[in-house]
Amino acid sequence: MNDTALDLRRLAAMDAAQASRLLHRVREETLAGRRPPIAPRPVIDASWRRMSQLGLDPDQSSRSVLLRRDELEERRRTTLIGEVMRTLTAGLSGIADASMQIMVVTDEHGRVLWRDGNLSVLRRASGICLEEGAAWSESSTGTNAVGTALAVRKAVQVHSAEHYLQTLHNWTCAAAPVHDPRDQRLLGIVDVSGPASSFHPATLALVASVAQLAEAELRERHLRSVERLRAVAAPILCRVGGRAIAVDAHGWTAAVTGMAPVDRVTLPKSFRAGRVWLPSLGMCAVEPLPGGWLLRVDDGTTAEADGSRVVLDLSRPRRWTVAVSGAAGSWTQELSPRHAELLWVLARSPEGRTAAELAQDVFGDRTRTVTVRAEMSRIRRNLAGVLAHRPYRFHEEVEVELLVPEHPADLLPHSTAPAVRAAWDAPAGAQD
């Protein structure tokens, strides 16, 4: 029985008292390091391990220091999730009230900004500090739907003794993240919580669906704002000579002239009017537009990257990034394993590599040039300003810094690329 993980649907079909006893025993045995009668769900087991590593006391209170009223109001006023509160409330508040539960909405740090629902449950929730201004991240309150959804970035349901803190064992909760569709930034969490007796496995699907509705509303608002920017930019672009593109504040394209259209231009965090160098376009003259920017590409310097610097960071086991800095500041992008392999090869080959050579380096097969060209085309969408082709290489004007693990075997540890595997056998320090 231990080899099978708990399933909430099967648990819901059990007698409530029997299910509660089983969950409590699973938690007790697992936290004590003993073999439980049935394995906890993987998402719960992973969270319990995180809590143990943090040294969180499972017997501690769930109370936290509340935000001051002025700080709470400031967070409500400035968060984008506040713009879809009507959708969240319409989708969940009434159902939560009728089912003896409450709806909770937090910011991206797990701080409760709003709550609504059944009045008696709201009073009970205040007893466990599930109230406006409270902290419900895992580091504050242990395994719970809000905090664990924040940690794993997906919808999570936590029931009864699956909570790490014993004081929460009489509660059940289901939560889902809400993301900004423009850049996938996490905006916050929407949650439905109530007494353990109100548990139903379908609650998770309901909460996740409402979170998706909120994201769809934000996406529609964004599309309308791009349309408004397009209406402003179109007559301006008709009078612009050469290549130019109008983008919103997040880099999404509204209109373009003299060049192939792109969905989005990656903008530095600190962006301003003036002459700015962008990784995907090169040097541009930037002018403000209502709701965005006009970027005029300087065709005389597009391929030049004077003064730019690239940092390829492969020092961590599972998160690899490339950072480009220049006159406009810095820009960072996370890399897929394949793109990390290709850029690592190029960083070590200042003379450049042909498509056939890269195919040999990455696949051990010189004939796979079509795949290599497709991958390099994707990479150059954002790095055209620092990457040349024929052969593929970093521009000579670019300063490239390669950050690798101390031990060669820790470089891209799951890679099957022959070039990477050969580097594992190299002496420490030989990679860079």
- DSSP sequence for 140-174: HH-S-HHHHHHHHTS-EEEEGGGSSSGGGTTEEEE
pTM for the complete prediction?
Answer: 0.68
Residue 149 has pLDDT above 80, yes or no: yes
Residue 425 has pLDDT above 50, yes or no: yes
Q: Which two tokens stand for residue 280?
A: 């995907």
**94 or 395: which leads in pLDDT:** 94
Burial class of residue 263, CB neighbours in 10 A (0-12, 13-18, 19+):
exposed
Burial class of residue 241, CB neighbours in 10 A (0-12, 13-18, 19+):
exposed
pLDDT at 1: 42
Residue 315 has pLDDT above 60, yes or no: yes
DSSP string for residues in 228-275: HHHHHHHHHHHT--S-EEEEETT-BEEEEESS---SB----SS--SEE
The pairing of strands 399-403 and 309-313 is parallel
Q: Encode pLDDT of 232-277 as tens digits.
A: 999 989 888 789 999 998 999 999 999 988 899 988 877 877 788 8
How many CB atoms lie under 10 A from the CB of residue 401? 12
Q: Which two tokens stand for residue 422?
A: 């050969």
Q: Which two tokens stand for residue 351?
A: 């003379």
Q: Encode pLDDT of 332-357 as tens digits.
A: 788 999 999 999 999 999 999 999 99
Residue 188 has pLDDT above 60, yes or no: yes
Give yes or no for a contact between 171 and 136, defined as CB atoms under 8 angstroms apart: no
Residue 302 has pLDDT above 60, yes or no: no
Q: Is 152 left (phi over 0), alpha (psi -120 to 50) or beta?
A: alpha
CA-based nearest residue to 349, from 320, 319, 297, 312: 312
CA angle 43, 97, 14 (to 5 degrees): 45
Give the Cα separation of 141 and 144 in Å (integer).
Answer: 7
**332 or 385: which leads in pLDDT:** 332
Mean pLDDT estimate for the chain: 90
Give the Cα separation of 113 and 81 in Å (integer).
Answer: 10
pLDDT at 303: 41
pLDDT at 304: 46
Paired with 49 in beta bridges are none
Give the Cα separation of 191 and 107 in Å (integer).
Answer: 12
Q: What is the dihedral of CA 41, 43, 47, 53, to 10 degrees?
A: 90
Give yes or no for a contact between 301 and 295, defined as CB atoms under 8 angstroms apart: no
Q: Encode pLDDT of 45-55 as tens digits.
A: 999 999 999 99
Residue 430 has pLDDT above 70, yes or no: no
Give the Cα separation of 43 and 64 in Å (integer).
Answer: 24
Share of the chain above pLDDT 90, in %: 67
* pLDDT classification of 326: cutoffs 50, 70, 90: low
Q: What is the DSSP letter of 427?
A: P
Give yes or no for a contact between 113 and 104, defined as CB atoms under 8 angstroms apart: no
Please confirm whether the linkage preceding 405 is cis (ω < 30° from 0).
Answer: no
Cα distance from N-terminal residue to C-terminal residue, the chain: 50
Residue 93 has pLDDT above 60, yes or no: yes
Q: Which residues contact 127 (CB under 8 A, 6 or more apart)?
A: none
Give the Cα separation of 81 and 179 in Å (integer).
Answer: 9
Residue 167 has pLDDT above 90, yes or no: yes
Give the Cα separation of 413 and 402 in Å (integer).
Answer: 17
Burial class of residue 388, CB neighbours in 10 A (0-12, 13-18, 19+):
middle
Residue 327 has pLDDT above 80, yes or no: no
Number of H helices, E strands in the chain: 13, 16
